[in-house]
Amino acid sequence: MDWMTSIQQTVDYIENNIGDDLDIDMLANKIFTSQFYFQKVFTILCDCTVSEYIRNRRMTLAGYDIIDTDISILELALKYGYESHESFTRAFTRFHGITPSDARKNHSNLKVFSLISVKSNLSGGKALMSDFSERGYVVKETGAVYYTQDMDRTLKWFKDVLGWYGQIEARDEHNEGGYGCVNNIPIEIEALHIAPFTGIHLFKGEPLKTMVGFMLVQGVEQLYQFVKKNGWNQITEVKEQPWGGKTCSVTTIDGSILTFFE
Q: Are residues 188 and 233 in the same domain?
A: yes
147 and 217 assigned to the same domain: yes
Residue 194 within any structural domain of the chain: yes
Burial track 66-79 (b if 16+ CB lie within 10 A, e otherwise): beeeeeebeebbeb
Same domain, 95 and 173: no
Task: Please name the residues in contact with 226: beta carbons below 8 A apart, sequence gap of 6 or more.
Answer: 135, 136, 137, 162, 163
Q: Looking at the structure, do residues 99 and 136 belong to the same domain, yes or no?
A: no
44 inside domain: yes
Q: Are 256 and 212 in contact (CB under 8 A)?
A: yes
Q: Do 66 and 183 fall into the same domain? A: no
Q: Do the Cβ atoms of 91 and 80 come closer than 8 Å?
A: no
> Is residue 18 domain-resident?
yes
The count of structural domains within the chain is 2
CA nearest to 32, candidates 55, 10, 49: 10
Helices 35-46 and 50-68: crossing angle in degrees, nearest 10, is 60
CATH number, domain with residue 156: 3.30.1900.10
CATH label of the domain that carries residue 13: 1.10.10.60
Task: Note the pLDDT tens digit of each residue in 162-217.
Answer: 999 888 988 988 899 999 989 887 766 666 555 567 788 899 999 999 998 888 88
User: Which residues have CB under 8 Å from 244's CB, separation 6+?
Assistant: none
Residue 53 domain flag? yes
- Please write the tens of the pLDDT for every residue from 206-228: 999 999 888 888 889 999 999 99
pLDDT reading at 143 higher than 80? no
Q: Residues 63, 176: one domain? A: no
pLDDT digits (tens, 9 = 90+) for 59-92: 999 999 999 999 999 999 999 999 899 999 999 9
Same domain, 100 and 138: no
State how far the Cα of 135 lies from the Cα of 222, in Å rounded to an integer. Answer: 8
pLDDT tens readout for residues 21-67: 999 999 999 988 888 878 888 887 888 899 999 999 999 999 999 99
* Domain presence at residue 123: no
Domain membership of residue 141 as a residue range: 132-261
Q: Are residues 34 and 24 in contact, defined by beta-carbon separation less than 8 angstroms? A: no
